[in-house]
Every structure is written in C-alpha cells, then in structure tokens.
C-alpha cells in the first residue's frame, strides 16, 4: 500500500521538490547579498548596542540606527513583495495537492475500484494522508528554515519578528500553515467531490481562517503591555526592541483619546504644558515571539487534526 501510494503521488512530490529548488536559486543569492550589506552597514552591532528594552533615551546612536535601517530598506525593501509569495505558498499546497487527492478519485470514478479491493477505505485514507502529509511536512520544514534565514535581515532592519508578514514566514508556523492547507484541501475534496470546486473551496477557506487568526486572535494571545510617556521627555520607543506596536495614541490627563494612531513629539517652548497630554503605547513585547509561534502552531495543528478526522468520516460515507 505504501509503495502504491508513493507511485501515485511521486510526480507531485517531485514537482514540489523542483519548485523548492527554484525558490532556493532565488533566495540564496539575494539572501547572501542582504546579509553582506547588513554587515557592511554595521546594523547588527548598532542594534545590539541599543539592547531590547521597550523604551530608550533618544540619542545620536538611536537616530543613526534608524537612519541605517531606512537606508537598508530603501535598497532591499522591494524584496518584501517576494515575501508575500511565501505567505501564499502554503495555500497553493492545499489547492493543487490537497484538494485533488480525494476529489479526483471520486470525479473520475476510480474510487469504486480502489475502495472495493482488499484495502479498506480507512486504511487507504490513513496511508494516503499519512504519506502525503509526511512528504509535505519535510518540504515545509525545509521551506520554513530557508525563508526564515532569507527574511532575517529585512526583519532586523525594520519592524521586528512579531509584525504582520514577518511573523507569518518565520519560525515554525509556516509548517503548521502548510499542513493545515493540505488537510483543508483534502476535506474540501470530500465535501465537494469535484476537483475545481474543491480547489476554490480550499483557497477561500484558507484565506478566511488565516485572516481571522492573524487579525482577530494573534494580537490577543497574551494581554498587551501599555506604556505611557510624556511628549516633553527624551524617551522614545526602542527601534531594536522587536516589539509589535498595536496602537500609538495621544491621550489627555483624564485618559480621553485626543489623537488616534499618532504620537506627538517634544512640544515647542510655551506651546503645551507638561502633563496636558500623554503618549500611550500599546504593544506586544518582542520576546514573546516564540510563545506566539507555539500558540499559533497549536491552533493550526488542532484545526489540521479536526479536518483530517472529518475527511476520513466523509470518505467512509461516500457511495
């Protein structure tokens, strides 16, 4: 059964391997170029000197680090559009590999032959899903490691690892996304046993779940921290902290919102009295990166297991 499953699905596996090789051919030279320029600018040592505290006194060193970061972004910032492709890749696994896995068998009628032989439907499903999932997990792990390495200089020079897009292509969550997309595609193929409709359902479902988790759930995995600091002081958010800033507003002494999504700088002499307004900074600390990675991976692991379970139940009832 294992040998037969491999023979039936070796072409998609080889296609995925070739696609991974092509991605590596793009990522390795651009990644090396970014790392060389990052070191040439001295961004690593500059940011290391600032530390990881959330607030820091505004000095020439802070201004210099921010200037170097902007310069690096001007040179390589357009590569962030490539990172969008890496966000989409897991969805393509579900659409092109997961959805046809069962839907094609049913659409072509070959399931009647396969499921009436000595191999039971349950054994067929477990073997097919297991082999496909194992291959996907191996390729996704290599992809996650490569993309994390490639994206690291861009993240270090800008918003930090917890920010949108950066979080999605680093760490262990890309593996969880990919396996979830595969399971969603398989379930879609049992729910709508036609290849094209199941592919569309898998793509739409993946987009809805990913956006919902990213926008609604992720900022609330842990209670956000709050910092308040006067506009007349010298304290400023540390650009090297890696904190994920959720909101940066101006409030008056009663706590009433005065200016949303903004921060006022030091007041010119005589134009505002100390204590009239306060900067409020709501953020998730940068050192929560791996905690958030673990939480989100667990969420998608549970969803993946549930989808596989329901897909097997559907297979056992298909005529």
pLDDT digit string, tens, across residues 24-36: 888 889 999 999 9
Cβ neighbour number for residue 15 with a 10 Å cutoff: 12
Mean pLDDT of 94-103: 90
Query: Phi and psi (nearest 5°) for 295?
Result: -65, -45
In a 13 Å sphere around the CA of 207, the CA atoms on its Cβ side amount to 9
Q: Which of 39-43, 194-198, 255-259 has the lowest mean pLDDT?
A: 255-259
pLDDT at 270: 47
DSSP string, 138-204: HHHHHHHHHHHHHHHHHHHTTT-TTSTTTGGGSTTHHHHHHHHHHHHHHHHHHHS-SHHHHHHHHHH
In a 13 Å sphere around the CA of 53, the CA atoms on its Cβ side amount to 9
Query: Phi and psi (nearest 5°) for 293?
Result: -60, -45
Residue 216 DSSP code: I
pLDDT at 77: 81
Q: Which of 39-48, 106-115, 151-160 has the lowest mean pLDDT?
A: 106-115
pLDDT at 27: 86
Using a pLDDT cut of 90, give the percent of the chain over it.
35
pLDDT at residue 15 above 60? yes
Average pLDDT, the chain: 84
Q: Is residue 36 classed exposed, middle or buried when 0-12, 13-18 and 19+ CB atoms within 10 A define those classes? A: exposed
Mean pLDDT of 168-175: 94
Distance between the two ends of the chain, CA-based, in angstroms?
22
pLDDT at residue 261 above 70? no
């Amino acid at each position: 059964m294992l040998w037969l499953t491999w023979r039936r699905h070796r072409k998609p596996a080889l296609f995925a391997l070739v696609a991974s090789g092509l991605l590596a051919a793009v990522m390795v030279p651009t990644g090396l170029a970014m790392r060389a320029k990052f070191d040439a600018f001295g961004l690593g040592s500059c940011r290391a000197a600032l530390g990881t505290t959330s607030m820091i006194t505004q000095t020439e060193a802070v201004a210099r680090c921010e200037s170097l970061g902007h310069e690096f972004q001007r040179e390589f910032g357009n590569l962030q559009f490539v990172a969008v492709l890496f966000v989409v890749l897991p969805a393509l696994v579900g659409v092109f590999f997961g959805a046809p896995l069962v839907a094609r068998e049913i659409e072509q009628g070959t399931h009647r032959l396969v499921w009436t032989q000595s191999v039971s439907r349950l054994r067929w499903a477990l073997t097919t899903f297991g082999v496909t999932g194992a291959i996907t997990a191996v390729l996704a792990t290599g992809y996650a490691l490569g993309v994390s390495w490639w994206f690291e200089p861009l993240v270090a020079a800008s918003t930090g690892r917890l920010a949108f897009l950066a979080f999605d292509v680093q760490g262990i969550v890309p593996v969880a996304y990919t396996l979830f997309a595969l399971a969603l595609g398989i379930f879609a193929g049992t729910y709508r046993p036609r290849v094209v409709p199941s592919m569309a359902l898998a793509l739409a479902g993946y987009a809805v779940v990913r956006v919902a988790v990213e926008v609604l759930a992720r900022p609330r995995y842990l209670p956000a921290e709050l910092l308040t600091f006067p506009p007349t002081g010298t304290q400023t958010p540390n650009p090297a902290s890696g904190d994920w800033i959720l909101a940066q507003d101006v409030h008056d002494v009663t706590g009433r919102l005065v200016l949303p999504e903004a921060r006022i700088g030091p007041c010119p002499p005589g134009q505002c009295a100390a204590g009239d307004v306060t900067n409020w900074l709501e953020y998730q600390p940068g050192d929560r990166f791996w905690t958030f990675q673990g939480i989100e991976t667990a969420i998608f692991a549970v969803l993946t297991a549930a989808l596989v379970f329901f897909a097997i139940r559907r297979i056992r009832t298909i005529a």
